[in-house]
Amino acid sequence: MANSIQQFKADFFKALAHPLRIRILEILCEGDRSVNEIQSLLQSEGSTVSQQLAVLRNKNVVYGVKEGTTVVYSLRDPLIKDLLQVARQIFDNHLIDQIQLLEEIRNEPL
């Protein structure tokens, strides 16, 4: 059973492991969007966006609701927004550490 939980977690994070998918999720954190709106905001081809949305949908990270001829996408769980914010804080902390190290190196006597 524990192994299946780790597999679920690994699959979930694999779904997030693409820059375009992260950007799509950031857009959806701001509110529900149609495929066309996402494409426009990303300035990306429809097929590329649709492929990445399919990955997120298949891993139950987002879901789409058909409204007439348009599909509107939403985050499956609003905690995704919190997860992305925490990831950004971790990234910022890492950068701060790297900047401090660089400053120490620059201040070392030759």
Q: Which residue has the higher pLDDT, 85 or 45?
A: 85
Amino acid found at 25:
L
Question: How much of the chain exceeds pLDDT 90, in percent?
Answer: 72
Does some domain include residue 9?
yes
Count structural domains, the chain.
1
Cα distance between residue 74 and residue 10, in whole Å: 22
Express the helix, strand and coil content of the chain in percent, nearest 5 each.
70, 15, 20
Question: How much of the chain exceeds pLDDT 70, in percent?
Answer: 98
Question: What is the per-residue pLDDT for 110?
Answer: 75
What contacts 20, CB < 8 A, 6 or more positions away?
A: 42, 44, 48, 49, 52
pLDDT exceeds cutoff 70 at 2:
no
- Where residue 23 sits, what CATH number does that domain have? 1.10.10.10
pLDDT digits (tens, 9 = 90+) for 52-96: 999 999 999 999 999 999 999 999 999 999 999 999 999 888 888
Does some domain include residue 93?
no
- Give the domain extent around 48: 2-76
Amino acid found at 100:
Q
